[in-house]
Amino acid sequence: MKTKRILIIVIALFVIGVLIRLGLPAVMTGMGLHKEYEGQRYLLSQGKALIITTSHDRLGDGGDKTGVFGSEMTIPYYEFREGRMHVDVASIKGGELPIDPKSFIWFIKSEHDDRFLADPVFQGKVKNSLKIDDIDFTKYDIIFLAGGWGAAYDLGYSKVLGQKITEAYAAGKVIGGVCHGLLGLLLAQDENGHPLVKGRKITAVTDKQINELGISITPQHPERDLKAAGVEFESATAFRDMFANHVVIDGRIVSGQNQNAGAEVVNLMMKVAGGTRR
């Protein structure tokens, strides 16, 4: 009888484990994380997109590993590719770029992350990312700034990135990104030499989300620092802001609040760049 009871308990625990394994990702999606994009998709055949990420791989001095948030790079990459665009991947320092390991946790990662993990071509671009210093941004139709906690350490401080975005914007290119990636706009200028973001409507990760996740150690915070630079900051909210989603178009600048906005931002960028409906 005792053996039978133990067997029943083991089976019950196994079933519960399977249900959690299969059900938790669906629950997270249902709450808003990486919700499937159901909007209009676009094509920009033979166009070129440049995805830029952080090169910073630690929170603070010797803290937890960080980097680009996986889906904030993988979703844009595959959406651009499905829009028939050529896509290059670059980072502040070039070479192998860091991916936040937490972004690949089984109940957080997106289907695009799984696709990346089975894609040797894309993995090769990530291991050998281009250095922004060596790239002419004006050769691209779209410049996309990926987020992640690492971006709070280098994108907003890079004078090279600021100058390159300034040149791309002056050349009529479409600029955008999600989450912490929008910090990369801070040192860019408009055609009059004024801060590119001043007076613009832009969204990015909120102070509320940063506080909810308990990661306030980073030197820059998008909502705080974009507002300080004169941005008319917009955002949505939820019971936890990691499940919120908001996208803003201001001329040739398209911004998304966080990882949930990637597909929408990319398709709107292709639209603004002259893309056609799929």
Evaluate if residue 17 carries a pLDDT over 50. no
The CATH class for the domain spanning 43-277 reads: alpha beta
- Going from N- to C-terminal start, the domains of the chain cover 43-277
Evaluate if residue 6 carries a pLDDT over 70. no
**Sequence-distant (≥ 6) Cβ neighbours of residue 182 within 8 angstroms:** 145, 147, 202, 203, 204, 222, 226, 255
**Sequence-distant (≥ 6) Cβ neighbours of residue 239 within 8 angstroms:** none
Query: Rounded to an integer, what distance in angstroms lies between the CA atom of residue 221 and that of residue 213?
Result: 13
pLDDT for position 90: 98
Residue 12 binned pLDDT confidence (cut-offs 50, 70, 90): very low
pLDDT tens, 87-145?
999 999 999 999 999 999 999 999 999 999 999 999 999 999 999 999 999 999 999 99
Give the whole-number percent of the chain exceeding pLDDT 70: 92
Residue 190's H or E segment, with its range, is: none
pLDDT for position 128: 98
pTM of the model: 0.93
